[in-house]
Structure 1
Amino acid sequence: MAESRSERAPATAKGEATRAHLLRTAGRIFAERGYAAATQSDLIAASGLTKGAFYFYFPSKADLALAVLREQKGRWLSQVGQRVLAEPTAAEQLRALVPAMLDLHEREPAAWSITRLTRELAADPALASEVAKTPAEWVALIADIIRRGQADGDLRTGLDPDQLAAVLVGSFDGIKDLTDVLEPGARGGPAFAARIRTCQSLVELALFLPR
């Protein structure tokens, strides 16, 4: 892929601002329409740039989509990860995950695009290994929290942390997909938040040891 070219955007304040604008705009378009339905012409028109300026930053739709994924992954891992890991115990970190993720969805509408983009881009064998890094990092982060919570005696043992983390990440993403079907265009509204909190309550009932 042309990652190297997309990373060669001019190291100036204007260049960085333009690139950030393209990522925000593309994230919104991908969230609204999905990767397959969003055409290059749609993306260029929404950006307000000329074709030449647009292609200077991102030579293809796939380059732009991967850059959106990387940017969103970095935002999620930095903002959500920092907030969650600031909690003093692993059990409290696990409880903090859902509020932190819901807050980010509320502040950053483009965050809704990451699950859909991941699924669509993963279908391309040339992109699959790169795309897999995003969910893999989330599974690793949550598995580490669960593993430490089990060691602390706050979470039930007998469940494999890596498998459980994969189930939790899959549940979160699955609820996003369900919301897209039941409430098209809602993208992180009250119904989504209620479903995610219900999932969190079920996890706590099954995993947390009574104190």
Structure 2
Amino acid sequence: MSKAERTKAYIIERAAPVFNTKGYSGTSMSDIVQATQLTKGAIYGNFTGKDEVAIEVYKYNFGALRKRIANAMLAETTAQARLKAYTNYYRTNWQQVQERGGCPLLNAAVEADDNVAFMRKNVQASARQWIKDIRTVIQAGIDSGEFRADLDAQQMATSVCMMLEGGMMFFKIMDDRTLLFHALDRIDRMVTQEMMR
């Protein structure tokens, strides 16, 4: 990795929690300077401006969360256990997720809808990827005979993702983790009751 690549990665890593906590429109160049302890010139030397930093930070935040969840799921051998690992990740890491500012997909989606339209394509791509990750697990369960053959893997995966993101939203806005846990319980019931043969 070149010095320029290392500097760029450093800026992204240091700015990531700021953007996820303060928001993409709420984070200023001064916030990025403070988080990185670099000059504005150093930041502009690596990025065209705040919008480019925001996009790269979003990709970093979402990618890091996706990787942590994927690692938890891949440690399991059955589709049911993988989906339970997905919900268990949030049960055991809800405080860390909150301390990091919440779900990066949810945070960016809310802003990309109205305030930061330049991020919309990236957020849509992430949402599609998230659903695809879950759909792949559900389809593997269908193919192996673990889940019902008549399941619509796409519909179920979309429902799982929507319930999780809705639970995250209510948890964050109401500052009540039981609201997230209600969503996780509902997903678990889908997996253990509705999807099983």
The partner residue of 2:86 within 91, 94, 97 is: 97
Unaligned stretches of 5+ residues in structure 2: none
* Distance change (3 Å), C-alpha of 1:56 and 1:206: farther
Partner of 1:112: 102
- The Cα shift of 1:134 comes to 0.9
* Distance in 2 (alpha carbons) for counterparts of 1:96 and 1:85: 9
Equivalent residues in 2 for 1:1-211 (5 A)?
Answer: 11-12=2-3, 16=6, 18-101=7-90, 109-110=99-100, 112-114=102-104, 115-121=106-112, 123=114, 124-183=116-175, 190-191=177-178, 194-209=181-196
* Distance change (3 Å), C-alpha of 1:191 and 1:40: farther
| Count of aligned positions | 194
Q: Deviations over 1:95-132 (max 9, x none)?
A: 11122355566556437251212332354554432331
Unaligned stretches of 5+ residues in structure 1: 1-9
Contact 1:105 1:111 in 2 (8 A): no
* Distance in 2 (alpha carbons) for counterparts of 1:154 and 1:85: 17
* Distance in 1 (alpha carbons) for counterparts of 2:144 and 2:174: 40
Contact 1:122 1:128 in 2 (8 A): yes
Per the normalisation by structure 1, the TM-score is: 0.75
* Distance change (3 Å), C-alpha of 1:11 and 1:138: same
Which of 192-201 and 33-42 deviates more?
192-201
Root-mean-square deviation (Å): 2.9
* Distance in 2 (alpha carbons) for counterparts of 1:113 and 1:44: 24
* Distance change (3 Å), C-alpha of 1:32 and 1:79: closer
Which of 77-86 and 171-180 deviates more?
77-86
Percent identity of paired positions between Structure 1 and Structure 2:
21
Whichever residue aligns with residue 89 of structure 2, its letter is A
Partner of 1:7: none
Contact 1:118 1:131 in 2 (8 A): yes
- Where do 4+ consecutive residues of structure 1 move more than 6 Å? none
Whichever residue aligns with residue 120 of structure 1, its letter is E
* Distance in 2 (alpha carbons) for counterparts of 1:70 and 1:105: 21
Q: Deviations over 1:160-190 (max 9, x none)?
A: 111211121122112221122101xx8xxx5
